[in-house]
Structure formats: structure tokens, C-alpha cells
Structure 1
Amino acid sequence: MEQATIDSISFLTRSETRVRLLEQLLEGGPATQRDLRVDLDTSRSTVARALTAFQERGWVRNSGDTYRLTPVGQQVIEAARRFAETVEAAEDLAPFLRWFPTERFDLDIAALSAATVVTPSEGDPYTPARTQTELLREAERFRGLFPSIDLEGSKLVHDQITSGALEAEIVVAPAVEETITAGEFAPLFREELETGRLTVRRAETALPFYLGIADGEVVQVGVEDDEGFPRALLEATDERVRAWAESVYQEYRESAASLPVEAF
């Protein structure tokens, strides 16, 4: 980035009044100094200095007492707004992005601006897991990647599938296969597979995160810390996120081996 560009960004963002002035001209159209001063509830000298500086940069021009944005000024304030939205989204997503392997899976932050991030609290460390369970309770068709699994969620899915309310296909990590083919898990999965409404596949390698796609609409991505503790669950409906999720799921599904009823 060139120094002149950095200087212009610094000039604009160093003053909230400057940003608000450009926004007012963008939203309200041409205005006099007095109009701008009243709308922003600020001093005459502050408005005058800002408008003069904008004119010097070619962001604003005046005709008599009326000031209006130039095409350059419009581009500047619209770009500033997009930047602000990106920063806000990144800060909201920070608990999720901290644990998400962005170096391997390119998920556009802009597509996540309307996403919800659920994190554990001191009094309720399993909030992400419960949110995941609620999605399974409401879904009619589900596909997912499971790097880990819990018995409570498995019992819920068992009830949904055996009652005919849910059809699912899941890809599990090799360690999860060992868990679900033994102990209390095995009879649950055997009964589900016998209904024909569940398909279980074993991935070739460990899975990097939990991924759930419900009814082709809602996407959940869950991340864990280095010790396997859930840290954040992201939920989104943006079509770009859905396309990304479908692609990632298919990548793991294609190389995963189907597990027969006999394995349980």
C-alpha cells in the first residue's frame, strides 16, 4: 500500500466527524455548511476545516454554499464503510477464527458478516454443543463431519432417525469410528443403520473441525482447542458459506469408506 493511501486513510479515520460528514453527504445528498453543522451537532470551525480538507483531496466540491461528494469522495466513504463492516465482523468472529485453520480452508470473512458465533461461558461451557444438538433436533436432512462425538447427541440423533424424523449421512474421524463401534454407542448406531435413514463413513484422516449442513440451508462449523474442548460454533445461512461447506464435505466424503451394519 502506497504511503499516500495510508495517509488518506489515517486522515479520514482519525476523526469521527470527518467520517460522519462524508456519510451525511452520501446519505442526505448536497448540503450547506449550516445543514451539516446542525445534522452533526458540531462547531462551525470543525465542519469548515473538514470540508476544506476534503476539497483539497478532491472528495468534495462546492457550488456557492452547497457541498456535494465527488465520485472519488463517494468511493472513499463507501470503501470506508466496507472496511468498518469487515473489521466489525472480524472482531465478532475472533473466538471462532482463533481456532479455525484458515491457512487450509479459505472461508471469506465477508460471507460471515451475518453469521452467529456461540462460545462457552464460565457458567455454561457446553453452549456450543447444545446449539449443535438443537440443529439436529429440528433438521429433516443432515450431513456432517465429526472429529469427535458425545453420547447425549448420539441418543438424540438415534431418536430422530428411528422415529422417521431425520435422514442423515455423516463422516467420522478414525478415532470416532473406534468409539461408535463399541460400548453404548454401538447399539444406537446399529439400529439407526438398520432403518436405512443413516449412512456412516470413516474418513482416512483426522477431521479438522465439526461441520454440519442441515436441510441444505443452515451451516454450522465447530472448532476445538488443542485438548479437544469446544471453543466456538459458527452458524450461517449465507449461500457462499453453504457452497464452501458443500465443497468441504464432498472432499472428505469422496475419500471416506462406508461402514456397514456389521461393524457395529
Structure 2
Amino acid sequence: MEQATIDSISFLTRSETRVRLLERLREEGPATQRELRDDLDTSRSTVARALTAFQDRGWVRNTEDTYRLSPVGQQVIEATRRFAETVEAAESLAPFLRWFPTEQFDLDTAALSAATVVTPSEGDPYTPARTQTELLREAKRFRGLFPSIDLEGSKLVHDQITSGVLEAEIVVSPSVEETITAGEFAPLFREKLETGRLTVLEANDEPPFYLGIADGEIVQIGVEDDEGFPRALLEVTDERVREWAESAYEEYLEGATPLTVEAF
């Protein structure tokens, strides 16, 4: 990036008033200095200095004391808005990307711009897990990759499957296989498998994230910290992410070992 471009970006973005002035001219059209002062509720000198600087850069034009965006100014403010949206999206994704193994999986982060990211709340560190459970409550068809599992979600899925609402296929990690074939989990899974509406397979290794695909449309990706606590859950319907999710799921499905009712 050229220094002149960096200087222009710095000039505009270090002043909220400058950005708001360009946005005002873009959204509502030409205006006088007085109209701009009133609309932005700022001083005469601040508006006058900004408009003079804009004219020097060729971003606005002045005709009979009325200021309007030039074609260059139009492009500048539109690019600024896109940049702001990109920064906002990147910051919202930060809790997820911190724990997602991007070096191992070629997830297109640009496709995540419209994703919803759920993080632990102050009073409930398991908010991501509860959001995951809510998806299962609404789904009719589900495919999932589970590096960990909780009893609450398993009970919900049990009710959904045994009542004929949900059909599911899940691939679980070896550690999850040990969990669900014992204790309170075992009878729940036995009953679900007996309905024929659930398929459970054990993966060859430990998946580094949770992956859920509901009704062929909604994708959830959940990440945990090194101690197994949920850190973020991403939910998105973007087709590119869905295709990636299907491919990632198939990789774990291939070579996975089906678990029969007898295992429980």
C-alpha cells in the first residue's frame, strides 16, 4: 500500500466528524455548511476545516455554497463503510478463530462475515453449549461431529428421536465413545439406536471441534479451550461454509466404526 493511501486513510478515520460528514453527504445528498453543522451538531470551524480538506483532496465539490460528494468521495466513503464492516466482522469472529485450528482446516473465513458467534456469558459459561442444544430442538435431520458430549443435550436428542421428530447421524471421538457406552448415557443411546432413527460411529481420532449440520442448511462449529470448556459457537447458513462442513464431516465419517446397540 502506498504511503499516500495510508495518509488518506489515517486522515479520514482519525476523525469521527469527517466520516460522519461524508456519510451525511452520501445518504442525504448536497448540503450547505449550516445544514451540515445542524445535522451533525458540531461547530462551524470543525465543519469548515473538514470541508476545505475534502475539497483539497477532491472528495467534495462546492457549488454556490452547497457541498456535494465527488465521484472520488463517493468511492472513499463506500470503501470506508466496507472496511468498517470487515473490521466489525473480524472482531466478532476473534473468540472463535482463537481456538479454531485454521492451520489444519481450510475454512474460508471470508465466508463467515454473516455468521453469529455465541460466547460464554458472565453468568453462564456454557452458553455456546446451550445454543447448540437449541438447534437440536428445532432440527428434523442432523449430522454431527462430537469431540465431547453432555448429558442435557443427550436427553433432549433422546426425546426428539424417540418421539419421531429427529433423525440423526453422529460421529464421536474415542473419548466420547467411552462416555456414552457407560453410566447414564448408555440407556439413552440404546433406546435411540433401537428406533433406527440414530446412527452412531466412532472416529479414528479426536476431532478438534464440534460440527453440526442441521436440515442441510444450518452449520454450527464449536470450539473448546485446552481444558475442554466451550469458548465459542459459530452458526452460519452460507453455502460455502456448508460445503466445507459437509466435506469435513465426510472426512471423519470415512473409516469411522459404526456402534451397534450391543455396545451400550
Do both share a fold (TM > 0.5)? yes
CA distance in 1: counterparts of 2:108 and 2:250, whole angstroms: 19
Which structure 2 segments of 5+ residues have no match?
Answer: none
Q: Give yes or no for contact 1:89–1:109 (8 Å, CA) kept in 2.
A: no
TM-score by length of 2: 0.89
Q: 1:26 to 1:240 in 2, by over 3 A?
A: farther
What corresponds to 1:261 in structure 2? Answer: 261
CA distance in 1: counterparts of 2:145 and 2:204, whole angstroms: 12
Q: 1:79 to 1:251 in 2, by over 3 A?
A: farther
How far 1:107 moved relative to its partner? 4.1
Matched position secondary structure for 2:220? strand
Aligned residues: 264
What corresponds to 2:17 in structure 1? Answer: 17
What corresponds to 1:141 in structure 2? Answer: 141
Matched position secondary structure for 2:232? strand
CA distance in 1: counterparts of 2:30 and 2:253, whole angstroms: 57
What corresponds to 1:172 in structure 2? Answer: 172
What corresponds to 2:252 in structure 1? Answer: 252
Matched position secondary structure for 2:182? coil
Matches within 5 A, 1:176-187: 176-187=176-187
What corresponds to 1:218 in structure 2? Answer: 218
CA distance in 1: counterparts of 2:255 and 2:60, whole angstroms: 58
- Give a deviation string over 1:221-257, Cα, whole Å, max 9, x none: 2111001111222223344433332332233223433
What corresponds to 1:188 in structure 2? Answer: 188
CA distance in 1: counterparts of 2:152 and 2:217, whole angstroms: 24
What corresponds to 2:55 in structure 1? Answer: 55
- Give a deviation string over 1:167-207, Cα, whole Å, max 9, x none: 00111112222222333333322322222211122222211
AA aligned to 2:39 is: D
CA distance in 1: counterparts of 2:61 and 2:8, whole angstroms: 17
What corresponds to 1:84 in structure 2? Answer: 84
How far 1:113 moved relative to its partner? 4.1
CA distance in 2: counterparts of 1:171 and 1:207, whole angstroms: 9
How far 1:215 moved relative to its partner? 1.6
How far 1:109 moved relative to its partner? 4.6
TM-score by length of 1: 0.89
Identity %: 87
Matched position secondary structure for 2:67? strand
CA distance in 2: counterparts of 1:10 and 1:247, whole angstroms: 42
Q: Give yes or no for contact 1:120–1:127 (8 Å, CA) kept in 2.
A: yes
Matched position secondary structure for 1:23? helix
CA distance in 2: counterparts of 1:23 and 1:258, whole angstroms: 58
Q: 1:93 to 1:31 in 2, by over 3 A?
A: same
Moved more, 218-227 or 29-38: 29-38
CA distance in 2: counterparts of 1:117 and 1:244, whole angstroms: 18
What corresponds to 1:7 in structure 2? Answer: 7
Q: 1:251 to 1:89 in 2, by over 3 A?
A: same
What corresponds to 1:36 in structure 2? Answer: 36
AA aligned to 1:256 is: A
Give the aligned CA root-mean-square deviation in angstroms. Answer: 2.2
Matches within 5 A, 1:226-241: 226-241=226-241
What corresponds to 1:101 in structure 2? Answer: 101
What corresponds to 1:117 in structure 2? Answer: 117
CA distance in 2: counterparts of 1:98 and 1:119, whole angstroms: 12
Which structure 1 segments of 5+ residues have no match?
Answer: none
How far 1:134 moved relative to its partner? 1.8
Matched position secondary structure for 2:121? coil
Q: Give yes or no for contact 1:86–1:109 (8 Å, CA) kept in 2.
A: no
AA aligned to 1:231 is: R
Q: Give yes or no for contact 1:217–1:242 (8 Å, CA) kept in 2.
A: yes
Matched position secondary structure for 1:31? coil
Q: 1:74 to 1:247 in 2, by over 3 A?
A: farther
What corresponds to 2:26 in structure 1? Answer: 26
AA aligned to 2:174 is: P
